[in-house]
Structures are given as structure tokens and as C-alpha cells.
């Protein structure tokens, strides 16, 4: 299976457990790793045989900048579900969401959640 990766996307959202996170918001980083058959795209040089990553970016932005989630786990799950529902040619997806500034008095580069989802034999979206 081939792979397409969108790395380091940055969006501003209002996700978090604490009211000030929902009020003030902050940046979130998102990486998408898609497992997809890119053989036809490689042979034909036609976008219709691949996934338009500008549209993937727009869909991810819509989720991150949309309705707030309490947990970045839920945010990552929302992104995974929306992407797999929109793009049936994607067989498997890894979503990484990084919250670089959790509201704690500790110093580190952030916390990242990684979820992997795929389609089962019946087309349902399931954990890998």
C-alpha cells in the first residue's frame, strides 16, 4: 500500500476541558498519514486518481476550527471519521493531533495523540 502524508498542518481551535481553553483557544498541529493505492495516479498523472491534499487540508481545518471537543482524542477521532467518510479510496488513516500549550505549569513541547483507523470488510470505520 502506498502512503501520502500531510505534515505540520496548523489550525486555531477552542478544544479543551477547561473553560478558558474554550474561550481563548490555541493552535493545534495535525498530521495525516494515508494508506492509499496511488498506482493509477503515478501512471496517469491525473488528480482524479489520487486525493487532492488541498481538499484534505480544508476538511481538516473545518473540523479543527469547528465545534469544540473536550479531548484531543475526540478531535483526532472526528478528523479520522470525516476524512474516511469523504474519501472512500483511503484504506487506512493515521491522525496525529498535537496540543502544543496544554494549560499546565509544566514545560514541554506539547502532547500528541495518534489514532489509526481503517475500513473493515463491510466498509465500517474501525480502529487498527
List, for residues 23-81, the tens digit of each pLDDT value. Answer: 999 999 999 999 999 999 999 999 999 999 999 999 999 999 999 999 999 999 999 99
Q: Could you give the residue numbers annotated as active site?
A: 99
pLDDT for the residue 40: 97
pLDDT for the residue 84: 96
pLDDT for the residue 105: 74
- Return the exposure string of 53-64: e unless at least 16 CB atoms fall within 10 Å of the residue's CB, then b: eeebeebbbebb
Q: What is the mean pLDDT of residues 105-110?
A: 76
- The range of the structural domain enclosing residue 66 comes to 2-127
pLDDT for the residue 5: 97
| pTM across the whole model | 0.92
CA dist list (Å): 81 to 21, 60, 71, 84: 24, 11, 16, 5
CATH code assigned at 77: 3.30.1130.10
Is 28 in a helix, a strand, or coil? Answer: strand
User: How many structural domains compose the chain?
Assistant: 1
Is 94 in a helix, a strand, or coil? Answer: strand
Amino acid at each position: 500500500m502506498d502512503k501520502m502524508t500531510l505534515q505540520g498542518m496548523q489550525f486555531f481551535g477552542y478544544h479543551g476541558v477547561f473553560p478558558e481553553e474554550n474561550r481563548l483557544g490555541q493552535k493545534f498541529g495535525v498530521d495525516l498519514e494515508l494508506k492509499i493505492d496511488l498506482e493509477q495516479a503515478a501512471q496517469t498523472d491525473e488528480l482524479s486518481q489520487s486525493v487532492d491534499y488541498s481538499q484534505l487540508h480544508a476538511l481538516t481545518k473545518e473540523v479543527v476550527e469547528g465545534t469544540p471537543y473536550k479531548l484531543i482524542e475526540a478531535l483526532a477521532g472526528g478528523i479520522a471519521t470525516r476524512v474516511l467518510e469523504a474519501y472512500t479510496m483511503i484504506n487506512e488513516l493515521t491522525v496525529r493531533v498535537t496540543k502544543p500549550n496544554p494549560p499546565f505549569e509544566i514545560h514541554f513541547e506539547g502532547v500528541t495523540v495518534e489514532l489509526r483507523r481503517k475500513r473493515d470488510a463491510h466498509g465500517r470505520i474501525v480502529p487498527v
